[in-house]
Structure 1
């Protein structure tokens, strides 16, 4: 039996996708009849085995082929992804090389930032110290504010006291003003009494001196000037009335004169001469400039119309006039 099996030729086959080929390695030897009888059985068995093998391979190929193709596709896809990642790695490597200098600069900046942080830390410590000082000052201010609140609570009472003080000040100022006025009146009275004691008479803010000695008009004017006055001027009807009533029936020089026969009348104390008003004070028919030498005026009569022109060299009593000036007395 072993001899028979050893003589069975080997069957070879190839599978190329769907094509199957069978061939013997060597042509069977020409033997005697016993081998010929066993050949169909052996061949049949081989064929069956080969058929099974082929069917199994076809079945496996039908099952594994799609999976293998899918695996190959996945491998290609993964290979492409891997290639892309390799390219990305290369790009990243070049970028890393480029950024290496930036990293070094960043390192320097980090060192600078660390130095700045140290500086800021020291500043923060100083600020903390300042904050402590500020807190202490705030506490002091809080205490001061409490005192201010206490003072504010006292303000209404102080305001009432201030109102009272203001009212008192008003009264005091009124009293001071009254005292000043009283003082002025007293000084005025004292000045008037002093002038009256010296022979002057007082009328409407002016002092008048009625002489007891006769002088020429020019001598009378010099006497008045030596007493800080002038021969009297007349500016109103009331003043004219005061003068002629005080003079009585006696003739008195007044301060009215003119320059030459054709000159205009004027007052020696520089009071403006009112020619129209003065017309009421001349004696009717005066001034007549008798003998072309009557250039000075006097009070001749005890009446409103009492002025008369006369020679300036005549001797008459005279009236001096001095305005009241408290600063001069």
Structure 2
């Protein structure tokens, strides 16, 4: 899908002010501006609101190609961060994973870690990407100090 996005990374104390990513998810189109220290950290509900103030939404992975690209991109920007939040959740109906912004289902082809999602303690309703294990996991949505990725559509020329 040809779509230019800007990924804003609020990763622990690292926040990228602007990073434009090409539609084909293979190259950086423009540049990643200098990282600035960001003292605020959020739970995923607040992170979703923070993305909206930037004109975007929490990351919505469309397929494993985008998942793999996002992993590589975040690793280059943030190094060995533990995990980052996405817009995936099953808050409305357990085991029915959808995205906050679009309401679209999380594609079944997007690979979760083995045994995940497991809804541990019957309270894990939000989707995160665990960097060290290179896969998706479910956690509580009120988990504090979450790192996250915002996706901001900018339009794209083919």
Q: Is TM > 0.5 for Structure 1 vs Structure 2?
A: yes
Match of residue 231, structure 1, among 48, 58, 62: 58
- More helix, by proportion: 1
Which structure has the bigger radius of gyration? 1
Task: Quote how far apart the aligned CAs of 1:322 are.
Answer: 1.2
Q: Quick one: distance in 1 between partners of 2:119 and 2:93?
A: 7
- More strand, by proportion: 2
Asked if 1:310 corresponds to 2:129, the answer is no
Q: Quick one: distance in 1 between partners of 2:146 and 2:116?
A: 18
Residue in 2 that maps onto 1:295: 125
Q: Relative contact order, CA 8 A, sep 6+: which one is greater?
A: 2
Alignment gaps of 5+ in structure 1 = 1-191
Does the aligned pair in 1 maintain the 2:85–2:149 contact within 8 Å? yes
- When the two chains are superposed, the root-mean-square deviation of aligned CA atoms in Å is 3.0
Q: Quick one: distance in 2 between partners of 1:268 and 1:310?
A: 15
Match of residue 73, structure 2, among 241, 246, 250: 246
Alignment gaps of 5+ in structure 2 = 1-5, 7-15
Task: Quote how far apart the aligned CAs of 1:263 are.
Answer: 5.2
Residue in 2 that maps onto 1:264: 96
Task: Quote how far apart the aligned CAs of 1:267 are.
Answer: 1.0
Residue in 2 that maps onto 1:200: 19
Aligned pairs, how many? Answer: 127
Q: Quick one: distance in 2 between partners of 1:285 and 1:261?
A: 19
Residue in 2 that maps onto 1:220: 47
Does the aligned pair in 2 maintain the 1:221–1:231 contact within 8 Å? yes
Q: Quick one: distance in 2 between partners of 1:300 and 1:222?
A: 22
Cα distance, 1:216–1:320 mapped onto 2, change above 3 Å:
same
- Give the TM-score, by structure 2 length: 0.67
Q: Quick one: distance in 1 between partners of 2:90 and 2:142?
A: 14
SS in 1 for 2:109: helix
Does the aligned pair in 2 maintain the 1:300–1:307 contact within 8 Å? yes
Q: Quick one: distance in 1 between partners of 2:108 and 2:113?
A: 14
